[in-house]
Structure 1
Amino acid sequence: MDSINLKNYFFYFASFVVIIAGVKMASQVVVILFLAIFISSIFSTLLKVLQKKHIPRLFSYFIILLIVSGIGVMLAYVINISLNDFLTNLPTYEEKLKNTILNLLHFAQDSGIQIDKAKIMGALNFNSFFGFTTNIIGSIGTFLSKFLLVVIGVAFILAESKSFQTKLRVIFRNNAKKLEHFNLFSFNIQKYFVVKSFTSFLTGFIITIVLTLFGVDYPVLWGVIAMLFNFVPVVGSIIASIPAVLLTFMNLDINTTIWVIVLYVIINISISNILEPKLMGKELGLSPLVIFFSLIFWGYILGIVGMFLAVPITMTLKIAFDSNTSTHWLGILMSDLSRKKLKARKEQKTSDLI
């Protein structure tokens, strides 16, 4: 690093700004490209499994595209139907919430607490929430039109996967080390996406079962939202839990609401903080600071979809940096070293005992 001229840093920074500005201008196309790459990374593992089972390559492609299309259409259908029904019942929920708040205010006043009921009740309007949910329903049709392009992109990427390996061997025929770095990068990326998709699905599935057992309205909808928002770290699980908790509070009793909150916390902590690191590996951990700023940065560049893609994109960059010795220091800067230190201490204690 000492040999690098200061001018080079300015050149790199200027190039970075120009590239990011271009990405923001072409965000509609970039989102489709990123989604196609990430989805194909997940299903390329399934493609390898099908080929090991001696299933014809063309038939394997057809199975994967059928699965991708089916999942997309099913999610869009469930969200669309549930949200439309939810909006139909929104005035009822608004009235229930107001009555619940009024009962709490009366209880507080009876306890000697001075509260301005007019201000609190005036603040309780669902106009902004109604507009937000309406926008979500409107965006589902747009998503489906884009999702067709994503599926086509996935098809072409998977079709090129075998020849791409041949191209890499030709490109790096005189440099086996670079080919090894790229293969390591590809393996870690696939590992991350497969594990993250599995833990997100598991989170949504368990939450759907829990909400169904407690009799909360629209459990499948809140399970799907929990699965999607699991890709948004820190705040994602909190945002996903709010609608289900509010519905439980309005329709059921306070004890059930507390149980739902506790189970939400247990499920998210158990899967995100215990199961996911074990499956993914400690070395793939991102620094909390990097996660926070990646949410802001990619959310600004790519919009709401950027928040879902923030950690996958940042993790991709980190793995790319880790896979090359010349950029390994950047990967260390993005890492959560507290996990590595904890692992090193455990290994040291084990060696001392031996």
Structure 2
Amino acid sequence: MDSEKRPVTTGVLVSFASLVVIIAGLKAASPIVIPLLVAGFIALILSPPLFYLQRTGLPTWAALSIIVISLVLVLTTLTLLLSVSIENIASSLPHYEARLTEHLGVAKVWLDNKGLNPSHQDFTALIDPALAVTLFGRLVNGFGNILANGLLIIFAVLFVLMEASAFPAKIRYLLPRPEQSLVHLARFVETVKTYLVIKSVMSLITGAGVALYLVVIGVDFALLWGWIAFFMNFVPYVGSLIAAIPVIVLTLLDAGPDIALLVAFGYLAINIIVGNVIEPRYLGQGLDLSTLVVFLSLVFWGWLFGPVG
């Protein structure tokens, strides 16, 4: 009996140890793995327009050139936007820190009047002004690091797209029963591709709506917040909330609670319209993901690959 249980236990331990080694390897190789994963993600999104251009009669080299040039223009625009935004944010940090310190002073006076009397050291330790106004910079820097590897991403996307049309032939050569595997693989790839394309369009609508709304009400760094809303909209349930928190906090510090409430209302309205009205028309009932699974995935992949994870 014990001899039967021992191989099972050994197999479980070996599998767990292998998983730990793989995770450690991914963590150590994240500077290379992250750009390659992003490249695969982008290639999936760009493959439908590539195939469409090929169906119109364009040669493969011309279709690839159009796709790659468009990608270069988008990455260049994002890089310039983030560079300018980071410079502006860096120059504005003393202002936001001073405003936060001022608000903390008002809050301490209010607590003193209520008889709570917190010490200044304990109160500032609870909310560090310098930390509070720079946390969102980590998110921006995460995307900035991805854009810094733009050349690697572009070449990886180019090679993936060049090989895309040859994948079925290679699978037929490698697998013993290729036709059955190809049917399942094609269905899976088509489902993922359709989801990513539709989600990208919905995220673009969300980001553009956020940026336009923030420009109208006069919030700083509106284009940056729009791009962050675009990227974070790919994270189910909590992505839009994470994207909204830094702009609401900074608006509260800079312009007061009235404008901050307007910002919160705008984010809520845009996400309700896009997420609950427009998106379900194209994605059906969605992926039926567990909120707990999404949260744990967010924590794990965030730890493994940083803000981009």
1:299 is aligned to 302
Query: How many percent identity over aligned positions?
Result: 33
1:257 aligns with 2:250: no
2:192 is aligned to 189
Is this contact kept in 1: 2:168–2:182, CA < 8 A?
no
Moved more, 171-180 or 182-191: 171-180
CA 1:264/1:146 → structure 2, altered by over 3 Å: closer, same or farther? same
TM-fit CA distance, 1:282: 3.0
1:47 is aligned to 50
Deviations 1:312-334 (A, max 9, x none): xxxxxxxxxxxxxxxxxxxxxxx
1:58 is aligned to 61
1:236 aligns with 2:206: no
1:36 is aligned to 39
Deviations 1:15-41 (A, max 9, x none): 444433433332222212211111100
In 2, Cα distance between equivalents of 1:124 and 1:76? 32
Deviations 1:107-156 (A, max 9, x none): 6767x565547354575543335665676777676434422101100000
1:165 aligns with 2:168: yes
CA 1:195/1:295 → structure 2, altered by over 3 Å: closer, same or farther? same
In 2, Cα distance between equivalents of 1:299 and 1:135? 12
Deviations 1:147-194 (A, max 9, x none): 210110000000111122222344458442211001011101211221
Gaps of at least 5 residues in structure 1 are 307-354
| AA at the equivalent of 1:220 | L
1:215 aligns with 2:224: no
Deviations 1:290-328 (A, max 9, x none): 22222222233333322xxxxxxxxxxxxxxxxxxxxxx
Gaps of at least 5 residues in structure 2 are 1-6
Q: Secondary structure at the match of 1:282?
A: coil
TM-score relative to the length of structure 2: 0.83
CA 1:24/1:140 → structure 2, altered by over 3 Å: closer, same or farther? closer
TM-fit CA distance, 1:251: 3.3
2:287 is aligned to 284
In 2, Cα distance between equivalents of 1:153 and 1:250? 42
Moved more, 75-84 or 271-280: 271-280
In 1, Cα distance between equivalents of 2:84 and 2:16? 47
Match of 2:71 among 63, 68, 71: 68
Q: Secondary structure at the match of 1:303?
A: helix
TM-fit CA distance, 1:71: 1.4
CA 1:7/1:260 → structure 2, altered by over 3 Å: closer, same or farther? same
TM-fit CA distance, 1:60: 1.1
In 2, Cα distance between equivalents of 1:63 and 1:201? 20
Aligned pairs for 1:20-169 (under 5 A) are 20-103=23-106, 114-116=116-118, 118=120, 119-120=122-123, 125-129=128-132, 132=135, 142-169=145-172
In 1, Cα distance between equivalents of 2:98 and 2:190? 53
| AA at the equivalent of 1:20 | I
Is this contact kept in 1: 2:97–2:133, CA < 8 A?
no
Moved more, 246-255 or 210-219: 246-255
In 2, Cα distance between equivalents of 1:251 and 1:130? 11
| AA at the equivalent of 2:168 | Q
In 1, Cα distance between equivalents of 2:24 and 2:89? 39
- With a CA cutoff of 8 Å and minimum separation of 6, indicate the structure with the bigger relative contact order: 2
In 1, Cα distance between equivalents of 2:168 and 2:139? 40
In 1, Cα distance between equivalents of 2:171 and 2:54? 21
In 2, Cα distance between equivalents of 1:242 and 1:283? 25
In 1, Cα distance between equivalents of 2:100 and 2:24? 44
CA 1:188/1:6 → structure 2, altered by over 3 Å: closer, same or farther? farther
TM-fit CA distance, 1:207: 0.7
Is this contact kept in 1: 2:233–2:239, CA < 8 A?
yes
| AA at the equivalent of 1:91 | P
In 1, Cα distance between equivalents of 2:286 and 2:142? 37
Aligned residues: 301
Is this contact kept in 1: 2:143–2:308, CA < 8 A?
no
1:201 aligns with 2:210: no
Is this contact kept in 1: 2:96–2:133, CA < 8 A?
no
Instruction: Let me know the Cα RMSD of the aligned residues.
Output: 3.1
Is this contact kept in 1: 2:82–2:144, CA < 8 A?
no
Is this contact kept in 2: 1:201–1:227, CA < 8 A?
yes
Is this contact kept in 2: 1:47–1:60, CA < 8 A?
yes
| AA at the equivalent of 2:247 | A
